[in-house]
Chain A
Amino acid sequence: MEEREKASLKSTGRILLAHGAGGKLGHQLVADEILPLFSNPILARMDDSAILEIEGFRLAFTSDSYVVDPLFFPGGDIGRLAVCGTVNDLSMGGAKPLYLSLSLILEEGFPVEDMTRILLSSRRAAGEAGVQIVTGDTKVVGKGGVDKIFLNTSGIGLIPDRRVLASGHNARSGDQVILSGYLGDHGIAVISQREGIFWGEEIHSDVAPLNGLVEDIFRASQEVHALRDPTRGGLASALNEIARQSRVGIVLEESNIPIREPVRGACELLGLDPLYVANEGKLVAIVGRDAASDILEAMRKNPLGQRAEIIGEIVENPKGKVLLKTRIGGTRVVDMLVGEPLPRIC
C-alpha cells in the first residue's frame, strides 16, 4: 500500500462503521490487523474465494455474513442475498457452486414468520442457482444482541479441469472491461426502503445468482482474465482492487456505463455516485481483446446479461489507478471509496 495511504487506525483504536463499507478503511483493517495473524499463500491472494488444490481437484471456498437492514426490500431480502452473495463469490473464482452452509443468529423476539419467509427465499435462490444447503447452525441471543437476524453462508464449488483461473491478478494491458448490466439498483433499493424514500418508479434490487451467466461466458471463451461482482463499494472499488492486484491502469467510458434513469435520479438527489453503489446481480469481466465480442454476445443472450456493455479497457499506466472519460469529454480519476458514502448537506 502506498505510503501516503497508511491511515492511523491506531489513533482511534476502535472499529468504525466506515470499516464495513467496502472501501479503503475496510481494506486497511483487514490488511493491517487481520491478515498478518493468519498469513498463508492462499489467503494472501485475497480474491473473492480461496482456491484450494486437493488431490488434483481445484475447489473454491468462500464465506460471507449478511447484516443488511432492512431485511426485506423491493426485489429481495436477506435470505436471497445470503445465498446469491456466496454463490456469486464462488462463481467469480470460476468455480461451479455446489454446496452451501447457512447459519442464523436470531435476536430474542424475532417473529418466526419472518424467519420462515427469509428461509423460503433462501431456498428459492438456492434452487435457481442449482446449489444445495447441506449444513448450518442456529443461535439465539438476547434482545439487542444482534439486529433482528444475521446470516452467514459459506460455500464450496468445483473449478472445472483445465479452466484457467480468473483472478484479480491477471488483467493485462489491452484487455476489455465488460459490465453485465445496470449499476446501482440494489444499493438504491435498500437505501430507499431504509429511509422510507419512494421514487416515482419503484427501484428493485438486482440480487440474483450469476453462476449461469459465468458458465455462458466460459463457454464462449477461455480468455477470461478476471471476474468480480461489484458489491459493497460498487464498481469503483471492484475495479480499483483489480487495478492494484494486476498492477495495471483501467480507463472507462462514462457514456457506455448503463445506469437506469430513476437510479441516476435517486443518486443525484442523495448525493451518491452510482459507481460506488452496491450491486448484487452484476459482474464485471476482464477479457482478452479478441474474445470480447464473442463474450459480449453470449452474455446478452442470458437474461441476467441483456444490458451487458464494454465499458472500458486495461492500460499499462497509470498503474493501480482507474480513470473515467466523462460524458462531456473530460477525464477524472475514479478513486477507491474511503469510508461510508455520507449523504451530503446541500
Chain B
Amino acid sequence: MKYIEEFGDFRLAQDLATQIARLSKRPVNLMEVCGSHTAAIFRHGIRDLLPSTIRLLSGPGCPVCVTAASDVDKALAIARTPGVVFATFGDMMRVSGSEGNLQQARAEGSDVRIVYSPLDALDFAQREPTKRVVFFAVGFETTSPLIAATLKRAISLGVENFSVFSVHKLIPPALRVLVSSQEVNIDGFMLPGHVSAIIGTSPYRFLAEEFHTPAVVSGFEPLDILQSILMLVVQREIGRAEIEIQYRRVVSAEGNRRALRLLEEIFCPVYDSWRGLGTIPQSGLKLRKGLKKWDAEAHFDLPSRPVQEDPDCQCGKVLRGVILPTQCSLFGKRCTPENPLGPCMVSAEGTCSAHYRYGVLA
C-alpha cells in the first residue's frame, strides 16, 4: 500500500467530509495535541472540508514550543563551554533563551551540530575523545526511547565523554491540565499517533473515565485526520466517551513494551516546567540518579534564573487552545517566522508558525 497516495485520495476525503457534515449537529471544540497534526491540518487545508460546527484547536504537542526558556539558557551555557560539542535536533536551533539561540551560538564559534539521531552524537563522542559531547534531548514519548537506547549503548561501550541534557516531556499529564482547564471547553481530543505507538492507550483512559471526554488516536495523512474527526463527532453526537484507535496500522492498545521498559530503565518522571502550561507534576523525564555520569546537568555549572518572558507574548494561551494565533497582538507584526518572539512561531510545527505560513489570508 502506498500510503501517501491512497491516504490523500480526493474522493475518499470528500466522502468523509460529507459524512462529518451530515452527522455533526452540535458545535464542538476538538483539540489536536500533536504539532505534526497541526501542520498536516494546515498543509492539506483540512479546515476547508469541515462544517462550521467543528472548531479545531491546536494543543501543546510541539516539544520545541513547550521547552522552557530557562532550559534553553542552560543549553546555551553548555554549548558555549569551550571543548564541548553540542548536538541537537534541527528545530531547536532557533528557539531563543534570554541570550540568543543555538544558531547564533554556532555563528559565534560554538561547536553546535545538527543531528537526525542521538546515535550520531554518540558517534561524535567516540571519534573525538578529547571533546565533551552533549546531546540536547528534546521530545515526547516518540523520541525519548531512542535517547534511552543511545544512553544504554554509551554505557555498555563505556563512552565517558558523552552526556545527555534531558528536557523530555510526557503527553498525558499535559492532557490532564488541558481537559481540567476552565478557560476552554474541549469536547474531544485527537491524540498523537506516534506517542501512542509507544505508550498505547491506557494512559489516556482518565480522559474518558474521569472527564467523559472522547479521544481518538490519529494518523497523519489527510484521510486519517478526517476519519478521526468523524469518529470523535460520532462519539460526541451519541454521548459516548471512549479512547479509540484510528491509526490501527501503527498503534496497539498496549503500546511498545520494549520501548517502555527502556524508558523506565533510564529515566524517571519529574515535576517539570512547560512553557505556556506552567509546572506539571510527573511530566518531565530526567536521568535516574545512578546515571549521573551521563547526565549533563551534573557536569556543568548551569544558570537557574527564571527567564523574563515578553509580557505581550501570548504563547501560553495559544498552547492551551484559549486563543488563535491571529488573536495575539504580536502575531504577524513583531512576531514572525523570521523574527520569532515566542516558541509557537519558531518551530515549523508551532501553532503560530503554521497559521502564519499556511493560513489563507482574510
A333 to B359, CA, bound (A): 6
A343 at the B interface (CB under 8 A): yes
Is A144 on the interface with B (CB-CB < 8 A)?
Answer: no
Q: Which residues between 25 and 49 of chain B lie within 8 Å of chain A, taking CB atoms?
A: 36, 42-49
Q: Which A residues are in CB contact (< 8 Å) with B339?
A: 7-8
Task: Mark the stretch among A131-139, A162-170, A294-302, A318-326 that contacts chain B.
Answer: A318-326
Contact (Cβ within 8 A) A264 B4: yes
**Most chain B beta carbons < 10 A, residue from A16, A255, A264, A330:** A330
Q: A14-B108, A328-B13, A333-B360 are in contact. Are A345 and B64 (CB under 8 A)?
A: yes
Complex interface: chain A residues within 8 A of B10 (CB): 255, 327-329
Query: Is B135 close to A, CB under 8 A?
Result: no
Given contacts A7-B339, A12-B107, A195-B116, contact A332 B89 (CB under 8 A): no
Which residues of chain B are near A28, meaning CB under 8 Å?
338
A328 to B5, CA, bound (A): 11
Which residue of B14, B63, B339 has the most chain A CB atoms within 10 A of its CB atom? B339
Residues from chain A with a CB closer than 8 A to the CB of B103 are 16-18
**Is A261 positioned at the interface, with any CB of B under 8 Å from its CB?**
yes
Give, as a whole number of angstroms, the nearest-CB distance from B259 to chain A: 13
Decide if A346 touches B45 in the complex (CB within 8 Å).
no
Residues of B near A330 (CB, < 8 A) are 44-49
Whether A25 sits at the interface, judged by CB under 8 Å, is yes
Which residues 301-329 of A have a CB within 8 angstroms of B? 318, 321, 323-329
Which of B139-147, B230-238, B241-249 interfaces with chain A? B139-147
Contacts of B17 in A (CB 8 A): 329
Q: Given the complex of chains A and B, what is the CA–CA distance between A330 and B223 in angstroms?
A: 13
Chain B residue with minimal CB distance to A195? B116
Measured CB to CB, the closest approach of chain A to B104, in angstroms, equals 6
A331 and B48: CB pair below 8 A? yes
Q: Inside 8 A of A343's CB, which chain B residues have their CB?
A: 89-91, 114, 116
Within 8 A of B (CB), among A1-51: 4-5, 7-8, 12, 14-18, 24-25, 28
Q: How far is the CB of A219 from chain B (nearest CB, A)?
A: 36
**Which one, B36, B94, B114, B337, contacts A346 given CB within 8 A?**
B36
A345 touches B139 (CB 8 A): yes
**Which residues of chain B are within 8 angstroms of A264 by Cβ–Cβ distance?**
4
A4 to chain B, nearest CB (A): 5
13 interchain pairs, CB-CB under 8 A: A4-B333, A271-B348, A326-B45, A326-B222, A328-B13, A328-B14, A328-B49, A330-B44, A330-B49, A332-B359, A333-B358, A333-B360, A342-B93
Query: Residues of B at under 8 Å CB distance from A?
Result: 2, 4-5, 8-10, 13-14, 17, 36, 42-49, 63-64, 89-94, 100, 103-104, 106-108, 114, 116, 138-140, 142-143, 194, 222, 226, 332-333, 336-339, 347-349, 356-361
The 7 A-B residue pairs whose C-beta atoms are closest, nearest first, are: A330-B45, A342-B90, A328-B13, A330-B48, A7-B338, A7-B339, A332-B358
